[in-house]
Amino acid sequence: MSPDQPEVPELHHGLLMALSYRFLGSISEAEDATQETYLRWFRLAPDERSEITNPRAWLSTTVSRICLDTLKSARARRERYVGEWLPEPVPPTLHWTTLANRTDAIDPADRIGMNESISLAILVLLESMTPAERVALILHDVFEYRFVEIGNVLGRSAEACRQLAANARRRVRQSRRTPIARDAHAAAVHAFHRAWESGDIAALVRTLDPAAQAVVDGGGAVSAALAPIHGARKVAEFFAGAHTRAPGLVTHEAIVGGEPGLVATAQGRTVAAMGFEIRSERITAVWALRNPDKLTRWGGRYSRSFRLKKRTFSGLLAAGAA
């Protein structure tokens, strides 16, 4: 790297991935956004880079804008998706670290925590928000950016960004009931797992809220329910039949999206990652990821497309100079 360049912010890679994953709910799309951000950095002329006094701020603003554009086009792409689309959960072996900037005075009970923000429950909820609401909420409540900084990303006033975050926060608040301790969450998942392995439909039903629903994302690549399954009995029957539909299926408890969940394997390969929403010690929602493209980080080999994206920073520099 030439001495006239500000230090290339490789150290900020974790921040960019942490931001973009929470914006997009997709590891592969987060990788694309992060890579595009670095390409834009390297394409700057040396004198342009030297004028950037805070590379971290420049990179985080750039990746946020890239993700905002991606979110705006996501709805149309997901309308063409086969079956139900779910966010891609982060496996426990994949972790991005970052430091929060600062804090504003909002009720801590309303703030989404760093770990909670990667849970499937929150990621699914974020899908119901407008792109601007999602970006404002994540930047402010998770990463503790000031509204004037968020306005620079969204091209809006600080007050408008404050209102966007408030609207998004209201959706989160309305979706929450009595918080459940992590041990209680794990216990509910364990009870479901034990009943599922035994094939006891009545026991499965007892772990579920009467209005429970299950959503399965197969992406058209594997067999999966194309619409949500509603009601405790139907959900229990669906999962009880999984061992018949897939002989040799092995399930075990694991951390899925930062929370206790289940992972299913067949012939040594991960075929499903499952997250749960728990309320009053019963399961109200099951999210099952079966799309193989969303399971490449869950044990086994990486996909070819992922390997191609793992370019070195020096390679990006060469691409930017081309």
Query: DSSP labels for 210-257?
Result: EEEEEEEE-TTTS---SS-EESHHHHHHHHHTHHHHSTT-EEEEEEET
Q: Is residue 14 included in any domain, yes or no?
A: yes
Pairing relation of β-strands 259-266 and 269-279?
antiparallel
Domain check: are 16 and 43 in the same one?
A: yes
pLDDT of residue 91: 87
Give residue-wise pLDDT tens across range 130-187. 999 999 999 999 899 999 999 999 999 999 999 999 999 998 888 765 668 889 999 9
Q: Is residue 220 included in any domain, yes or no?
A: yes
Nearest to 296 by CA among 33, 31, 75: 31
pLDDT of residue 68: 96
Number of domains composing the chain:
2
Domain check: are 172 and 310 in the same one?
A: yes
Q: Is residue 112 included in any domain, yes or no?
A: yes
Provide the residue range defining the domain that includes 161.
10-177+304-317
pLDDT of residue 201: 96
Positions of the chain with pLDDT lower than 70, given as ranges: 1-11, 95-116, 176-179, 300-322
* CA separation for the pair 259, 194 (Å, rounded): 18
Domain check: are 123 and 235 in the same one?
A: no
Domain check: are 71 and 113 in the same one?
A: yes
Domain check: are 169 and 187 in the same one?
A: no
Buried b (16+ CB within 10 A) or exposed e, 94-123: eebebeeeeeeeeeeeebbebeebbbbbbb
Contact 184, 201 (CB under 8 A): no
pLDDT of residue 243: 78
Domain check: are 63 and 118 in the same one?
A: yes
Q: Is residue 3 included in any domain, yes or no?
A: no
pLDDT of residue 196: 95
Domain check: are 57 and 139 in the same one?
A: yes
DSSP 137-204: HIIIIIT---HHHHHHHHTS-HHHHHHHHHHHHHHHHHH--S---HHHHHHHHHHHHHHHHHT-HHHH
Domain check: are 222 and 96 in the same one?
A: no
Burial of 44 (0-12, 13-18, 19+ CB in 10 A): middle
Q: Is residue 297 included in any domain, yes or no?
A: no
User: What is the longest distance spanned by two Cα atoms in the chain?
Assistant: 69
pTM of the model: 0.82
Region of 140 on the Ramachandran plot (φ > 0 left; ψ -120 to 50 alpha; else beta): alpha
Domain check: are 122 and 139 in the same one?
A: yes
pLDDT of residue 104: 43
pLDDT of residue 172: 86
Domain check: are 149 and 252 in the same one?
A: no
Domain check: are 161 and 229 in the same one?
A: no
CATH number reported for the structural domain that contains residue 259 in this entry = 3.10.450.50
Q: Is residue 298 included in any domain, yes or no?
A: no
Query: H or E segment at 285?
Result: strand 282-289
pLDDT of residue 119: 87
Which amino acid belongs to residue 240? A
Distance from the first to the final alpha carbon of the chain = 15
Contact 317, 9 (CB under 8 A): no
Domain check: are 36 and 150 in the same one?
A: yes
